[in-house]
A and B are shown apart, each in its own frame.
Chain A
Amino acid sequence: MKRLSIFALITVAILMVGYAQAQEKRDFFKIGVVTSLSGELAFGGTVTKRGYDMWEDAINAAGGIDIGGKKYKVQLVYADDQSTPATAAVGGERLITQEKVDCILGPYASGTTLALAPICEKYKVPHITGSAESPLIWLKKFKYTFGTIPPVNLGPRSAIQTLTQDVTPKPQSIAILGIDDAFSKFSAEAMKAAAEKAGIKILKYEIVPEGSDYTPSVTAIKSLKPDIFAMGNHEKAAIEMIKIAKELKFNPKAYVQHYGMSTPDFRKGLGKDIEYVFGISYWTENMKIQSTGLFKNPKEFADAIRKKFNVDPDYTEAGCTGAGIAFQEALRSIKAAPPLTDAQKDALIGALENLNIGTFYGQIKFATEGDAYHANAGLQSVTLQYQGGKLTEVGPPKTRVAPPKYPAPPWDKR
């Protein structure tokens, strides 16, 4: 009996080793994706999933990633971070150690990305996030983590510049209300820094917890009568803040919010009250960009997203597809066929650092030094505004489609 047990154990062990070895031979790239498919951030995680899935479809439709003349298809394997950092880390570890992915496409949110990045460092697996923007990620100088969207603290500059250089009369004062999360807080700080640089008086700068009732905060801001009411936030908070402002008859000359300008939720949430609201983006489908790679221009990408998902894309979808394209071009340059060895994964890091490509999303060139280490240094932010119900690029002046409309009329005159 004892001999039989030992024999059975040895047999199982041999089978497991054999199975593991058999798993490592494959003729396709297995790419892990960690993002928020459930929980509070599911709305954003789904945006990233659309962007990543769009890349998978497009590259596979083209036959796969060309490695030295042979094409290898891509298979995405998802792990749901459930909108919590700890689960992002666990999901990433499972993708690396059990699914044995070649590389990882990263989460929607900055908090979850900050938890996943050390796991990618530990296992030396290249990781690109097509969404996360917190400067905290880049300050940590993770060797194995990259991002296709510039840090959030660079974005709001454009909106403040538009409002200080391109409108008359020039606004004199600003009040800033930000949400306390890894993205929004830095967006608010960036607005503050840009306002200080532009010589606008900061009447109030407040950071509040997510999910608060914003009424008292908006009341306090209203009492100071700022020209600009700026919000460091995602679109849910902006919807609530603008609704409250209308109820309190608060009439600043401009509303500026950050993320989510083109999302259907933002448009439906505010309806006609969305008019005159300014926001920030790194990409719109009307940009005049030409590319020779996947998707020839932003419009082609936008049409593909609309056809597949029946939604208008925003810059996060574009950034996520861009992340896939970055991996694709870097793998092509090092001629690494799947499954990637550890040496090839390290070589991939070098290739990503040397990457400088034009895509439908814009330039992808990762910084290799400074506070934005491994973030995309190739993009500039643009200012958007809702005019006549349409999302319109109003800054910078060289690329804008229409001049900004300022000041916004009071609520009772609309």
Chain B
Amino acid sequence: MELFFQTIIDGLLIGGLIIIVGIGFSLCFGVMHIVDFAVGEWVMLGAYAGYLMVRYFGHDPMIYLPVIFLIFFVLGWLVYPLIFRAVSGKGHNPVIMGLVFTFGLSIIAKGGALSVWGYHIQSITTWLSGKSLSIGLVTVPALRFSGFLFGLLVTLLFMAFLYKTKFGIIIRATAQDRDTANLLGADVRKVGAFVYSLYAGVTGMSGVLIGALFSIHAAMGAKYATLAFFVVVLAGMGYVPGVLVAALVLGLLQSFVTVYIGGRYTLAALFLVMYGVLLITPKGILKRGI
């Protein structure tokens, strides 16, 4: 029984990490129809940013989260015009062009990280590292739990922003019908830049958390790109609220398959579920995707 409940906790906490990687990615696709292949590299660069902050300024990496958000927001703002240029223009398939361009960005980021910081595996610790709460039969690792709460908070803030603010309405309008929104006065280019920057900022912040939980190295991003794709398919492409449900489902699936069937079958299970969703309910498990 203890194992069963612990498996649920593990799954929810894994899902929490997937939320913070998937939510920005889903927003990026939903609004701009850009599949950002470099999502894993934003995580990696965020982790390295956290590492460098601690190395040069000391203190706990978590206190640098707002600064890292700002830095990556600005980076996203600078990168977006290049992406916009790649996906605009006549005679292109914008989605494919976006994918190819961001794939190129991910290669540059990976190679650049390896050249600048080398091959060493880095680690950062926070005051929460190694700590856990014992609640009844289960043990809840403190850092992962904070990641889960962070994921929930980010989701709620995004939802509030998208559904309760004027700019959020403009973003949703742009996502639904870009040309019409443009005709009605929405500056779609600025909307796109803002959304991409927001996504880069949030994903960069998630990198600090992930870096504290796991190891930091130039090739760490690939697995998060895979997870982001999974969660977006399950959530329904472009449907941001679905990311919460999809991420938790994926986390629980990983946890239960690993514990009760075997760790080597986890990826197969994830792929099977993804294919099943694409075949049976291509708009996601909540049927609200594009």
When distances are taken between beta carbons in the complex, the residues of chain A under 8 Å from B262 are 206
Contact A216/B7 with A42-B119, A211-B223, A247-B141 known, Cβ cut-off 8 Å: yes
Query: Which single residue of chain A is at the shortest CB-CB distance from B214?
Result: A240
Within 8 A of A (CB), among B205-252: 213-215, 217-219, 222-223
Alpha-carbon distance between A39 and B264 when the two chains are bound, in angstroms: 23
Query: Which single residue of chain A is at the shortest CB-CB distance from B131?
Result: A247
| 8 Å CB contact of A216 from B10, B17, B129 | B10
Whether a CB of chain A sits under 8 angstroms from the CB of B106 is no
Whether a CB of chain B sits under 8 angstroms from the CB of A40 is yes
Residues A249 and B264 in contact, CB atoms below 8 Å apart: no
Residues A43 and B120 in contact, CB atoms below 8 Å apart: yes
Whether a CB of chain A sits under 8 angstroms from the CB of B126 is no
Whether a CB of chain A sits under 8 angstroms from the CB of B14 is yes
Whether a CB of chain B sits under 8 angstroms from the CB of A64 is no
Within 8 A of A (CB), among B85-118: 111, 114, 118
Within 8 A of A (CB), among B235-280: 254-256, 258-259, 262-264, 266-267
Alpha-carbon distance between A273 and B125 when the two chains are bound, in angstroms: 12
Residues B267 and A219 in contact, CB atoms below 8 Å apart: no
Give the Cβ gap from B82 to chain A, nearest Cβ, in Å: 24
Within 8 A of B (CB), among A211-248: 211-213, 215-217, 219-220, 223, 235-236, 239-240, 243-244, 246-248
Whether a CB of chain A sits under 8 angstroms from the CB of B2 is yes
Give the Cβ gap from B109 to chain A, nearest Cβ, in Å: 14
Whether a CB of chain A sits under 8 angstroms from the CB of B6 is yes
Alpha-carbon distance between A240 and B212 when the two chains are bound, in angstroms: 10
Residues B215 and A249 in contact, CB atoms below 8 Å apart: no
| 8 Å CB contact of A219 from B7, B118, B215 | B7
What are 26 A-B contacts defined by CB distance under 8 Å? A42-B119, A42-B218, A43-B217, A207-B263, A209-B264, A212-B263, A213-B254, A215-B13, A216-B11, A216-B255, A216-B256, A217-B259, A217-B263, A219-B255, A220-B3, A235-B121, A239-B121, A239-B123, A239-B215, A243-B129, A243-B213, A247-B131, A247-B141, A247-B142, A265-B122, A268-B122
Residues B3 and A247 in contact, CB atoms below 8 Å apart: no
Per-residue CB proximity of B72-83 to A under 8 Å, as 1/0? 000000000000
Alpha-carbon distance between A247 and B9 when the two chains are bound, in angstroms: 13
Whether a CB of chain B sits under 8 angstroms from the CB of A53 is no
Alpha-carbon distance between A39 and B3 when the two chains are bound, in angstroms: 37
When distances are taken between beta carbons in the complex, the residues of chain A under 8 Å from B130 are 243, 246-247, 273, 411
When distances are taken between beta carbons in the complex, the residues of chain B under 8 Å from A243 are 129-130, 213
Alpha-carbon distance between A39 and B114 when the two chains are bound, in angstroms: 8
When distances are taken between beta carbons in the complex, the residues of chain B under 8 Å from A40 are 219
Query: Which single residue of chain A is at the shortest CB-CB distance from B13?
Result: A215
When distances are taken between beta carbons in the complex, the residues of chain A under 8 Å from B144 are 215, 247
Per-residue CB proximity of A167-194 to B under 8 Å, as 1/0? 0000000000000100000000000000
When distances are taken between beta carbons in the complex, the residues of chain B under 8 Å from A14 are none
Contact A208/B215 with A216-B7, A220-B3, A239-B121 known, Cβ cut-off 8 Å: no
Residues B10 and A215 in contact, CB atoms below 8 Å apart: yes
Contact A249/B254 with A213-B14, A269-B121 known, Cβ cut-off 8 Å: no
| 8 Å CB contact of A207 from B6, B219, B264 | B264
Query: Which single residue of chain B is at the shortest CB-CB distance from A264?
Result: B120
Alpha-carbon distance between A45 and B111 when the two chains are bound, in angstroms: 15
Give the Cβ gap from A220 to chain B, nearest Cβ, in Å: 5
Alpha-carbon distance between A268 and B121 when the two chains are bound, in angstroms: 9
Count of residues in B whose CB is under 8 Å from the partner chain: 46
Residues B134 and A219 in contact, CB atoms below 8 Å apart: no
Contact A208/B263 with A38-B114, A215-B14 known, Cβ cut-off 8 Å: yes
Alpha-carbon distance between A271 and B255 when the two chains are bound, in angstroms: 28
Alpha-carbon distance between A246 and B141 when the two chains are bound, in angstroms: 9
Whether a CB of chain A sits under 8 angstroms from the CB of B165 is no
Count of residues in A whose CB is under 8 Å from the partner chain: 38
When distances are taken between beta carbons in the complex, the residues of chain A under 8 Å from B11 are 216
Residues B263 and A249 in contact, CB atoms below 8 Å apart: no
Please give 13 more A-B residue pairs, beta carbons under 8 A apart, in addition to A45-B119, A220-B3.
A42-B118, A43-B217, A207-B264, A208-B258, A213-B254, A216-B10, A219-B3, A219-B7, A248-B132, A248-B139, A249-B139, A264-B120, A269-B121
Contact A236/B215 with A42-B114, A217-B258, A219-B7 known, Cβ cut-off 8 Å: yes
Number of A-B contacts (CB under 8 A): 109
Whether a CB of chain B sits under 8 angstroms from the CB of A164 is no
Query: Which single residue of chain A is at the shortest CB-CB distance from B263?
Result: A208
Residues B119 and A240 in contact, CB atoms below 8 Å apart: no
Residues B263 and A206 in contact, CB atoms below 8 Å apart: yes
Residues B10 and A219 in contact, CB atoms below 8 Å apart: yes
When distances are taken between beta carbons in the complex, the residues of chain A under 8 Å from B141 are 215, 244, 247-248
Alpha-carbon distance between A39 and B217 when the two chains are bound, in angstroms: 10
Whether a CB of chain B sits under 8 angstroms from the CB of A333 is no
Residues B119 and A43 in contact, CB atoms below 8 Å apart: yes
Whether a CB of chain A sits under 8 angstroms from the CB of B143 is yes
When distances are taken between beta carbons in the complex, the residues of chain B under 8 Å from A269 are 121, 123, 215
Per-residue CB proximity of A29-51 to B under 8 Å, as 1/0? 00000000011101101100000
When distances are taken between beta carbons in the complex, the residues of chain A under 8 Å from B267 are 209
Q: Which of A46, A209, A244, A247 has the most CB of B within 10 A?
A: A247
Query: Which single residue of chain B is at the shortest CB-CB distance from A235?
Result: B121
Alpha-carbon distance between A219 and B267 when the two chains are bound, in angstroms: 18
Query: Which single residue of chain A is at the shortest CB-CB distance from B258?
Result: A216
Residues B139 and A271 in contact, CB atoms below 8 Å apart: no
Residues B6 and A219 in contact, CB atoms below 8 Å apart: yes
Contact A211/B222 with A216-B10, A219-B10 known, Cβ cut-off 8 Å: yes
When distances are taken between beta carbons in the complex, the residues of chain A under 8 Å from B114 are 38, 42
Give the Cβ gap from A134 to chain B, nearest Cβ, in Å: 18
| 8 Å CB contact of B266 from A209, A236, A249 | A209
When distances are taken between beta carbons in the complex, the residues of chain B under 8 Å from A271 are 125
| 8 Å CB contact of B121 from A39, A209, A236 | A236
Residues A247 and B222 in contact, CB atoms below 8 Å apart: no
Alpha-carbon distance between A211 and B258 when the two chains are bound, in angstroms: 14
Give the Cβ gap from B58 to chain A, nearest Cβ, in Å: 16
When distances are taken between beta carbons in the complex, the residues of chain B under 8 Å from A207 are 263-264
Query: Which single residue of chain A is at the shortest CB-CB distance from B134?
Result: A249
Residues A249 and B223 in contact, CB atoms below 8 Å apart: no
Residues A240 and B258 in contact, CB atoms below 8 Å apart: no
Query: Which single residue of chain A is at the shortest CB-CB distance from B257?
Result: A216
When distances are taken between beta carbons in the complex, the residues of chain A under 8 Å from B258 are 208, 212, 216-217, 220
